[in-house]
Chains A and B, each alone.
Chain A
Amino acid sequence: MLEIKNLTKFYGTKKVVDNLSLIVKDGELCAFIGKNGAGKTTTIKCVCGIIDFEDGEIYINGNNIKTQPLEAKQTFAYIPDNPNMYDFMTAIAYLNFVCDIYKVDKTERKQRIDMYASMFEIKENLGQQISSFSHGMKQKLAIISALVHNPKLIILDEPFVGLDPTSTHKLKTLMKDLTKLGVSIFFSTHILEVAEKLCDHVIILNEGKIVKQGTMKDVLGDENLETIFLEINENE
């Protein structure tokens, strides 16, 4: 579903992503972890076509993000670390806008919006201005807007930040359920316990380079993710 080949990205003269390659298969739940400034968000932004990159190739569902951006973008959804949405819109107007962009028809959008809004307990707030939402509610809305067009790949940058425990639990369950339906999920997180319990695949990034990747079982061995993560950073 997602294939990154030799991705390299510079900010000025600083190399922030260094020859990074990875594959996320269909229906796989992949955690992308690393300390602050490791290059996680930059990689995600490159994948989503938000920022340009100097070298390498990114394929989403077989479409190159540089040469076939529209085809690639049609198949995935992105939830940023900071849910900067259109504050001047109501939540329902924003969801309708997203549905219009991804061409979701009226019956399906009603069904999906109702379902996800009820699941994340913001159905009552759909008519409200986004500017009146708390960070957590904005995050929920971002998640719903990502799910509403049934993407094949969901890319989430720090999705659990700001969510209440109930919503965190629901999101984790939903992520698991979606992978069972064949949806791939690629997300960055600092919550190692969640990554360890939830994911099939893990990628550890340090200074723009992948230092460890593989199935959770292979990477962990007899240890836990936190120990491995700390070891990597101490050896640095």
Chain B
Amino acid sequence: MNNLVALIKLNFLSAINLANKKKSKVGKFLIVFALLFLLGFSTFYAYSFIMVLKESNLKNYEFLISFSILASNFFVIFLFFSSCFNVLYKSKDNDIIFSMPIKKSTIILSKLIGILLLGYLYQFVFIVPFTVLYYVYNGFNIVSFICFLFGFFIEPIVPLCLSCLITCFFSFLTQKIKYKNLFSTLALFVFFGLFMYFYMQINVFDLMENANSTNFIKYLPWINWFYISITQNNLLYLLYNILLAIALSVFIYYFVYLTYFKMCTELNSSTASKSKIYYKNKPLFFALLNKEKKKYFSSPMYVFNTLFSYLLLLGVCIYFAIDKSLINSIGEIIPISSFTLSIIFITICFFMLSTANISAVSISMERQSFSMLKSMPLSFAQIIWIKITFAFLVGLPFILVSIIIFSISYNISFWFCLMIIACCLFFNLTLCMFGIVMNICFPNLTTQNDSVLVKQSLSSFLSVFIPLAFVMITTTIFLNINYSLLHYFLINISIIIALFLILLYFIIFVAKKKLQKLN
């Protein structure tokens, strides 16, 4: 039992990146601040929905519950699926843990509970503010609250079990395949592509009118039962959820237990496949760029988490090109022109690009080999700019193709198209610089798990969270305070230019000292 608690503590703290006691106070403060900010933002959105429901005289407050459960499940499944593979099978501390006198069951349980705790943290941010406001406006009921309280802890167990099952299946397939990294990356994309498609079938407006209307909820019974138990004060559905969670977790636990070590061995056994021996000269720039490319594509988790947003941007553009109804419906609120469409598209691009920051863990991913790089005759400026360049180049084709598709399908004039390209590329460059600065300020060369590094490291979190908050805040202010689209655009661009200059100053004058101290 002591082993289990110790391992859970270790896994969870390292997952939320608080395992290092030496972490600066600023770092810890930023994590807490970011969580509080997300909680505040979630509350703000819940309140905004209430206002919409009130204004439209729907007063269907159940929508808050269905929406928050769907949203939290989306993020929780996303988290679980990507974490399970890395934490269970690809964790680099497995060798040490396996060599210790710890039961196999304890190891598996500690890893699963560690992921589950992280799921609760995610779920807390999405569900609690919505549920509190639901009780405030719909009236409090003790049975409903009991259902919510127990359901809150029971509900993520089913997605975790399903993620384990899918992960096991993927792991089984991966071990049979020569190009493990490529297969893992593609598998992640295919799974989440299908998952996103499934989620995109939900119509929020239908959900507002009748929270239980969407078939999607019915396909995922644990969501449906959780929803019914809260909104209809029905303990029976809570019981269904408990029984489903127990049955599934017992089945999955034994399934993982039986296959775990074999799978770990197979997945982590290095392939001794040979490639061609060559002696080829490359200019320094391309040699470094090639190294960055190889490093990037060697980690499926790194590729998936950073490339997903670019693919999403491309997918959204294709979707908008096929189905123009959503963009055209904006014409009912504001007159549609090339300029209006450009600004809307730039905002969409900014939003998507904010979540894709390759450079945020670029230095951390070097891990201990960063010492070797530092001992080579390379200036710190070369090391930093090559990482920024690589991150920028990865996004470049996606951004260009997305903009061209959007511009052609909505007949945006050539000059406005150029304006969109310039704005988006400049924003992307600023983000790449911001990511590297965050990584220099909050480096982590010791974490062995790619998933923890890419998803939960402070640099990664802040470099996604701050730009996202910037886009969300400016857009929310614009939507709530009625000022012109031109002003909105100019204010945003001015802030980005100011940020770009600050980052440039940091990279030129401060980064070198910080990197020199990094060991």
With A92-B277, A128-B274 known as contacts, the answer to whether A69 contacts B379 (CB < 8 A) is yes
Contact mask A99-111 → B, CB, 8 Å, 1/0? 1111101100110
Chain B neighbourhood of A101, CB < 8 A: 284, 287-288, 376-378
A85: Cβ under 8 A from any B Cβ: yes
Q: Is B294 within 8 A of A93, CB to CB?
A: yes
Return the contact of A127 from the options B276, B291, B517 (Cβ within 8 A).
B276
Chain A neighbourhood of B270, CB < 8 A: 129, 131-132
Determine how close the nearest CB of chain A comes to the CB of B443; give it in whole angstroms: 13
Chain A neighbourhood of B273, CB < 8 A: 128-129
Chain B neighbourhood of A51, CB < 8 A: 516-517, 519
Contact mask A194-225 → B, CB, 8 Å, 1/0? 00000000000000000000000000000000
Complex CA–CA separation, A46 to B392 (angstroms): 33
A118: Cβ under 8 A from any B Cβ: no
Determine how close the nearest CB of chain B comes to the CB of A185; give it in whole angstroms: 16
Complex CA–CA separation, A32 to B299 (angstroms): 38
Determine how close the nearest CB of chain A comes to the CB of B236; give it in whole angstroms: 53
Complex CA–CA separation, A33 to B267 (angstroms): 41
How many chain B residues have a CB neighbour from A under 8 Å? 40
Complex CA–CA separation, A90 to B270 (angstroms): 12
Q: Which residues in chain A, 68-86, are within 8 Å of chain B measured between CB atoms?
A: 69-71, 73-74, 78, 80, 82, 84-86
A49: Cβ under 8 A from any B Cβ: yes
Determine how close the nearest CB of chain B comes to the CB of A94; give it in whole angstroms: 9
Residue of A45, A84, A105 with most chain B CB atoms under a 10 A cut-off: A84
Determine how close the nearest CB of chain A comes to the CB of B185; give it in whole angstroms: 13
Q: Is B287 within 8 A of A100, CB to CB?
A: yes
Complex CA–CA separation, A48 to B270 (angstroms): 32
Determine how close the nearest CB of chain A comes to the CB of B510; give it in whole angstroms: 14
With A96-B278, A100-B281, A101-B287 known as contacts, the answer to whether A85 contacts B372 (CB < 8 A) is yes
* Residue ID in chain B nearest A109 by CB atoms: B279
Complex CA–CA separation, A126 to B368 (angstroms): 22
B481: Cβ under 8 A from any A Cβ: no
With A73-B377, A88-B298, A101-B376 known as contacts, the answer to whether A45 contacts B371 (CB < 8 A) is yes
Q: Which residues in chain B, 266-301, are within 8 Å of chain A measured between CB atoms?
A: 270-284, 286-288, 290-291, 294-295, 297-299
* Residue ID in chain A nearest B378 by CB atoms: A101
Complex CA–CA separation, A70 to B512 (angstroms): 14
B367: Cβ under 8 A from any A Cβ: yes
Q: Is A50 within 8 A of B519, CB to CB?
A: yes
Chain B neighbourhood of A110, CB < 8 A: 279
Chain A neighbourhood of B299, CB < 8 A: 88
Beyond the given pairs A74-B377, A97-B291, 16 more chain A to chain B contacts, judged by CB atoms under 8 angstroms and listed by A's residue number, are A48-B374, A51-B517, A52-B513, A70-B377, A73-B375, A73-B376, A73-B377, A92-B278, A96-B287, A99-B281, A100-B284, A101-B284, A109-B279, A113-B279, A127-B274, A127-B277
B213: Cβ under 8 A from any A Cβ: no
With A73-B376, A105-B281, A106-B279 known as contacts, the answer to whether A129 contacts B271 (CB < 8 A) is yes
Complex CA–CA separation, A89 to B278 (angstroms): 13
Q: Is A89 within 8 A of B379, CB to CB?
A: no
Q: Is A128 within 8 A of B279, CB to CB?
A: no
Determine how close the nearest CB of chain A comes to the CB of B151; give it in whole angstroms: 43
Determine how close the nearest CB of chain A comes to the CB of B411; give it in whole angstroms: 45
Q: Is B275 within 8 A of A97, CB to CB?
A: no
Determine how close the nearest CB of chain B comes to the CB of A13; give it in whole angstroms: 14
With A70-B379, A128-B273 known as contacts, the answer to whether A97 contacts B371 (CB < 8 A) is no
B369: Cβ under 8 A from any A Cβ: yes
Q: Which 6 A-B pairs have the closest CB atoms?
A: A88-B298, A100-B287, A132-B270, A84-B368, A73-B377, A127-B274
- What would 13 A/B residue contacts be, using CB atoms closer than 8 Å? A45-B519, A50-B371, A74-B377, A78-B372, A84-B371, A86-B294, A86-B369, A92-B279, A98-B376, A100-B286, A103-B284, A127-B277, A132-B271
* Residue ID in chain A nearest B519 by CB atoms: A51
Return the contact of B372 from the options A84, A100, A106 (Cβ within 8 A).
A84
Q: Is B298 within 8 A of A106, CB to CB?
A: no
Chain A neighbourhood of B379, CB < 8 A: 69-70
Complex CA–CA separation, A129 to B268 (angstroms): 13
Residue of B272, B367, B376, B513 with most chain A CB atoms under a 10 A cut-off: B376
Q: Is A88 within 8 A of B374, CB to CB?
A: no
Complex CA–CA separation, A71 to B271 (angstroms): 39
Q: Is B280 within 8 A of A96, CB to CB?
A: yes
Complex CA–CA separation, A62 to B283 (angstroms): 27
Chain A neighbourhood of B376, CB < 8 A: 73, 98, 101-102
Q: Is B372 within 8 A of A97, CB to CB?
A: no
With A48-B374, A74-B377, A78-B372 known as contacts, the answer to whether A96 contacts B279 (CB < 8 A) is yes
Return the contact of A89 from the options B271, B274, B281, B294 (Cβ within 8 A).
B294
* Residue ID in chain B nearest A95 by CB atoms: B279
Return the contact of A52 from the options B288, B378, B517 (Cβ within 8 A).
B517
Chain B neighbourhood of A89, CB < 8 A: 291, 294
* Residue ID in chain A nearest B365 by CB atoms: A88
Q: Which residues in chain B, 237-279, are within 8 Å of chain A measured between CB atoms?
A: 270-279
Q: Which residues in chain B, 350-387, are within 8 Å of chain A measured between CB atoms?
A: 367-369, 371-372, 374-379
Residue of B279, B282, B368 with most chain A CB atoms under a 10 A cut-off: B279
Q: Is A82 within 8 A of B277, CB to CB?
A: no
Complex CA–CA separation, A106 to B284 (angstroms): 14
